[in-house]
A and B are shown apart, each in its own frame.
Chain A
Amino acid sequence: MRNPTATQLLFEMSCAGRGTEVFPASDVPDVTGVPKIGADFLASGPLPLPEIAEPDVVRHFVNLSTLNMSVDSHFYPLGSCTMKYNPKRHERLARLPQAANSHPYQSESQVQGLLSVLYEMQTMLAEISGLPGVSLHPAAGAQGEFTALLTAAAWFRDRGENRTRVLFPASAHGTNPASAALAGFECVQLSGGRDGFVDLEELKAHLDERTAVFMVTNPNTLGLFERDIAVVSEMLHSVGGLVYIDGANMNAILGRTRPGDFGGDMMHYNVHKTFTGPHGAGGPGAGPIAVRDFLAPFLPAPVVTFDAARNWYSLSVPEKSIGRVRTFFGNVGILLRGYFYIRTLGGRGLREASENAVLNANYLLSQVKDFLEVPHGDRCMHEFVASAKRQKDLTGVTTMDIAKRLLDYGFHAPTVYFPLVVEEALMMEPTETESLQTLDAFAGALRKICSEPAELVKGAPHSTAVCRPDEVNAARKPVLCWSAPNC
């Protein structure tokens, strides 16, 4: 039960002098034989951190946690984010000693078990994508995009080519252009066809010897499978360019089709989405990439290799590697959870998971399309984008109002106002781990909201601890840090 009194900040709970000794007293003698740190380097006093007793720390955070919606407690159809059930069985396994407590500079002989698992993960991700070269190194999907683009750039350079442009549709995730710009490419945005698919004529008009990569999410952010993807791929290849598949929506196609089979040259996985990992209120993720064989020599370092003759796993640097994009090996803790997921589902289970994700999305679509516009047809893959434009025009109720009102009914809101190509967008991704009853309850709530008085909906949420924070004032006069009164 929510505790209405418990929203004090940690800093307001602090009481000087309360700090307890956390650690035992020093058990080593003072020594004189080594150089002493000069006074110039030493802190002048204790850190200005709060002093709080452990029971109060626990109560504080437990109370804060009750102000959150989460997959464990609520239906969370946040499109593009694949908020599926997080298997609890992964957690204990991720804490096994070699997984949790290995230092990254541990010798290879001490982590053979762990490396064998990571090597197998590489192999499994290659099979699932149909792309043989895998790097587990990138920390999240966006870093995977950046890394793959650098890998492509290195391949072009190796061939003596200087290609400068990365193309993407307007419906792309913001990370695509951001990663392309970070990787030093010029960004070219295509508007796409009215039907939601890549417009082949428009694409053709933009392809030339400057084209490096076309980045496309497939299924795309409207929840549609790019039916012409093979043609798109041929078009890119015919001008010497490459196709990048943003793998954010892999949960729709596992075991049904593979990026490598439909013409992708490289892709990233969002392990924490597709193969489950704690979304952790924003992260961590893991963003492994998979690439065609000719790109593999350029992958970032390190990768795990296996010497069958010696039965030995090692960390290796690919022959023409672009180098590292982060310290150490990768987000091992998340990669392991993805590995556990794949091992417990197997090939058939992954396919069933995707089938049910697509079934659930289509069922939800069928239940909302008579009262919410769905501009791109009555079939979708694992997610679809509805629009509240009609509601807005008729009653003034916006997508944001509907999203907020859903919270009152105990549902997390869908992704709103994305993709940018749909006005008043509500992007819904139910995932496969939701039952018919939950989908019906959610559709019922949406239906009800759409017939509620506009004032009621515009005033929502009515049941949450706070209602419609003032974002304008927050941005005009940012307060990003607590400071002591009168300081």
Chain B
Amino acid sequence: MKAEELRYAKTHEWVAVDGDTATVGITDFAVKLLTDIVYLSLPIVGKSYSPGQAMGEVESVKAVSDIYAPVSGEVIEVNSALPDNLVLLNDSPLEKAWIARLRMHSPSEAGSLLSYADYVKHCDKAHH
């Protein structure tokens, strides 16, 4: 997957849309901001989330960050290998470090997420 082809939430989640399925992960930018991630809790399969609702958590030694649902939908699959291989978040944030797949309640929501270019701008602003 190419970063340019994905959609983004301001809360630093990326979304890959395939039909009514959204694959969600956290961005490289977020991973770097948190420094060494030591723990990740996954969303619950079968549970539905609305946009902006916390569905998981990532932790570094000194900080905790919620992972927010970028779109509304039901979690149909989670990357259960990820919590034990957190290094994937650094090595392969867009491929192997996906976090969950959601069956979107209204796929049109994805359209309101940021494009890559807008997300990069958002990060620049957030960082300064």
Contact = CB atoms under 8 A, between A and B. Distances in A.
Interface of A: 417, 471-472, 475-476
A187 to B, nearest CB: 15
A189 to B, nearest CB: 15
Interface in B56-90: 59-62, 86
Contacts, number: 13
A417 B63 CA distance: 12
Interface residue SS majority, chain B: loop
Contacts of A476: 38-39, 86
A476 B60 CA distance: 9
Contacts of A472: 36, 38, 60-61
Interface residues of B, number: 8
Interface string B12-47: 000000000000000000000000101100000000
Contacts of B60: 472
Contacts of A471: 61
13 contacts: A417-B62, A471-B61, A472-B36, A472-B38, A472-B60, A472-B61, A475-B38, A475-B39, A475-B59, A475-B61, A476-B38, A476-B39, A476-B86
Nearest to A472: B36
A471 B86 CA distance: 15
Nearest to A473: B38
Contacts of A417: 62
A426 to B, nearest CB: 16
B125 to A, nearest CB: 18
A472 B39 CA distance: 10
Nearest to B38: A475
A417 B62 CA distance: 10
A308 to B, nearest CB: 54
Nearest to B87: A476
Contacts of A475: 38-39, 59, 61
Interface string B48-62: 000000000001111
B74 to A, nearest CB: 28
Nearest to A417: B62
A472 B61 CA distance: 6
A471 B39 CA distance: 12
Given A417-B62, A472-B36, A476-B39, 10 more contacts: A471-B61, A472-B38, A472-B60, A472-B61, A475-B38, A475-B39, A475-B59, A475-B61, A476-B38, A476-B86
